Chains A and B, each alone.
Chain A
Amino acid sequence: MRARAQVRVLPDGRRLHLQDGPIDIVLQALGAEDQIRRAHRTAADRFVTVLDELCSELPLLREQVRLGGTEPDGIVARRMFAAVVPYAEENFITPMAAVAGAVAEEILAAMTAVADLSRAYVNDGGDIALHIASGERFVIGMVDLPDRPTLLGSLLGSMTLDSNQPVRGIATSGWRGRSFSLGIADAVTILAKTAAMADAAATIVANAVDLPGHPAISHIAARELSPDSDLGDRLVTTAVGGLTSAEVSEALGRGSACAERLIAPGLIAAAALNLQGTIRVVPSVESPKMALSSGERSLAYA
Chain B
Amino acid sequence: MPDHDAIRCDACPVLCYIKPGRTGACDRYGNQDGQLVRLDPHVVLDRAVSRGDSVVPFLERNRDWDGNIVSGPATFVTAIGAGTTYPDYKPAPFIISSEVAGVDMVTVVTEGIFSYCGVKVKIDTDRHLGLERNLVRAKGEPVGHVTTSEYGSQMLSLGGVRHLTGGTRDEGNATCETLLNLCNGKAAELTIDEGADVVVQAGKPPVVNGVVEERMRVGCGSATIGMFAKQWHEKIDDVVVVDDHITGVLSEHQAGKMLGIPETGIKMKGRRSTPGRYFRVAEPGTAWGGTKITDPLSILAPFNPKIAWPGLRLLMVSTTGEHHAYYELDDALRPLEKDLPDSLRLSVQRIKENCEPALSTVLFMGGAGGSLRAGVTANPVKLTRSVRDSLTRVTCGGAPVYVWPGGGITLMVDVSRMPENAFGYVPTPALVAPIEFTLKLDDYSALGGYVDRVRPLSSLLNDEGRRHVSARAENPWPFEDKSRRSQS
Binding site for B on A (CB under 8 A): 1, 4, 10-12, 14-15, 17, 20-24, 26, 28, 30, 51-52, 55-56, 58, 119, 121, 123, 125-126, 128, 130, 138-143, 146-155, 170, 172, 177-178, 187, 189, 224-228, 241-242, 244, 276-278, 297-302
Give A298 to B18 CA distance when docked, in angstroms: 39
CB pairs A–B below 8 angstroms (29 shown) = A11-B450, A14-B102, A15-B102, A17-B87, A26-B92, A28-B98, A55-B12, A55-B13, A125-B89, A126-B91, A126-B94, A140-B97, A141-B94, A142-B94, A143-B93, A149-B105, A149-B369, A150-B430, A153-B114, A153-B430, A154-B370, A224-B19, A226-B19, A227-B6, A278-B166, A299-B101, A300-B105, A300-B369, A302-B381
Complex Cα–Cα for A146 and B105 (A) = 10
Contacting pair A15 B104 (CB below 8 A): yes
- Is B109 a contact of A21 with CB atoms below 8 Å? no
Q: Are A277 and B98 closer than 8 Å at their CB atoms?
A: no
Report which residue of A28, A152, A170 has the largest number of chain B beta carbons within 10 angstroms of its beta carbon: A152
Instruction: Tell me whether B12 and A151 are in contact (CB under 8 A).
Output: no
Are the CB atoms of B17 and A142 closer together than 8 Å? no
If the complex has contacts A146-B93, A150-B115, A299-B97, are A10 and B378 also in contact, measured as CB distance less than 8 A? yes
Residues from chain A with a CB closer than 8 A to the CB of B89 are 24, 26, 125
- In the complex where A153-B165, A227-B19 touch, is A121 in contact with B104 (Cβ < 8 A)? yes
Q: Is B95 an interface residue (CB 8 A)?
A: yes
A24–B87 CA distance with the chains assembled, in angstroms: 10
Shortest distance between the CB of B121 and any CB in chain A (Å): 20
Measured between alpha carbons, how far is A58 from B379 in the docked complex, in Å?
37
User: Bound state CA distance, A23 and B161, in angstroms?
Assistant: 34
A172 near B169 (CB under 8 angstroms)? Answer: no
A149's contact among B19, B96, B169, B371, by CB below 8 Å, is which?
B371
Assuming the contacts A119-B98, A149-B105, asked whether A21 and B90 have C-beta atoms less than 8 A apart, the reply is: no
A242 to B141, CA, bound (A): 15
If over half of B's interface residues share one DSSP class (helix, strand or loop), that class is named, otherwise mixed; here it is loop
| Segment touching A, from B24-32, B65-73, B200-208 | B24-32
> Smallest CB–CB gap between B349 and chain A, Å?
49
B448 on interface, CB distance cutoff 8 Å = yes
Contact residues, B1-49 vs A (CB, 8 A)? 1-3, 6, 11-19, 22, 24-27
Of the listed residues A56, A146, A227, the one surrounded by the most CB atoms of chain B closer than 10 A to its CB is A227
Cβ contact within 8 Å between B16 and A172: no
A22 with B87, Cβ < 8 A, contacts A149-B109, A227-B17, A299-B380 known: no
Residue of B nearest to A25 (CB): B89
Cross-chain contact of B96 among A17, A121, A276 (Cβ < 8 A): A121
Verify if B408 is at the interface (C-beta below 8 Å from A): yes
Q: Which of A154, A228, A242, A301 contacts B168 (CB 8 A)?
A: A242
Query: Which single residue of chain B is at the shortest CB-CB distance from A228?
Result: B17
Say whether B116 faces chain A, with CB atoms less than 8 Å apart: yes
Point out the residue from B6, B112, B371 that lies within 8 Å of A154, measured CB to CB. Answer: B371
Q: What distance in Å separates the Cβ of A95 from its nearest Cβ neighbour in chain B?
A: 14
In the complex, A211 Cα to B366 Cα: how many Å? 34
Residues of chain A within 8 A of B2, CB atoms compared: 227-228
B358 part of interface (Cβ distance < 8 Å): no
Closest A residue to B87 using CB positions = A17
Least Cβ distance of A68 to chain B in Å?
Answer: 26
How many Å lie between the Cα of A22 and that of B95 in the bound state?
A: 21
Beta-carbon nearest neighbor of A202 in chain B? B93
Question: Nearest-CB distance from B104 to chain A (Å)?
Answer: 5
A199 to chain B, nearest CB (A): 12
Residue contact A14 to B97, C-beta cutoff 8 Å: no
Query: Could you tell me if A150 and B113 are in contact, using CB atoms closer than 8 angstroms?
Result: yes
Q: Report the Cα distance A152→B371, complex, angstroms.
A: 9
Q: Is the CB of B165 within 8 A of A276?
A: yes
Partner of A150 from the list B27, B168, B371, B408 (CB cut-off 8 Å) is B371
Is A51 within 8 A of B14, CB to CB?
yes
For A187, list chain B residues within 8 Å (CB): 93
| Contact between A151 and B105, CB atoms less than 8 A apart | no
* A146-B19 contact given A28-B98, A151-B114, A302-B408, CB 8 Å threshold: no
One digit per residue, 1 when the CB lies within 8 angstroms of any chain A CB and 0 when it does not, for chain B 450-474 equals 1110000000000000000000000
- In the complex, which residue of chain B has the Cβ closest to the Cβ of A126? B92
**Residue pair A143, B14 in contact (C-beta under 8 Å):** no
- From the candidates A143, A148, A178, name the one contacting B105 in the complex (CB within 8 A): A143
Q: List residues of B (98-137) whose CB comes within 8 Å of A's CBs.
A: 98-107, 109, 112-117
Shortest CB distance B252–A (Å): 51
**A227–B1 touching, CB < 8 Å:** yes
* Cβ-neighbour of A151 out of B24, B100, B369, B378 (below 8 A): B369
For B166, the closest partner residue in chain A by CB is: A277
- A153 near B91 (CB under 8 angstroms)? no
Enumerate chain A residues within 8 angstroms of B97, measured Cβ to Cβ. 138-141, 297-299, 302
